[in-house]
Amino acid sequence: MKKAIITTMLLLGSIPALAEEVAQATAEAATGSGGLRFIAIGFAVGIAALGGALGQGKIGASAMDGIARNPQAYKEMFIPMILGLVFIESLVIYALVLAFIL
């Protein structure tokens, strides 16, 4: 038990050091060549849009399938479906905002 606690404390204690290395590497990469940065931003936004579209399609298809099987459950399915769509769309918008910032 003590070994697990010590291991957990060491792992949690090393997170700030690892984050600092990543922050420095990101800052060095951002000041590098501008052309590659724009290509990377384009790929990031494209992948975010693709993932968001796939997720929204899956949620919509599952909701329609569930409503077709049990029409009385429409009211119980509608709010969670809308919330799922909103959360997915917010992640895509977040990727777009990060692209504009970079």
How long a stretch of residues is the chain? 102
pLDDT digit string, tens, across residues 61-89: 999 999 889 989 888 888 889 998 899 88
Which regions of the chain are under pLDDT 70?
Answer: 1-34
Reading the block at residue 102, the tokens are 């970079």
The string over 2-17, giving b where at least 16 C-beta atoms fall within 10 Å of a residue's C-beta and e elsewhere, is eeeeeeeeeeeeeeee
What is the residue-averaged pLDDT of the chain?
Answer: 79
The answer to whether domain 33-102 has CATH 3.30.360.10 is: no
Q: What is the pLDDT of residue 16?
A: 62
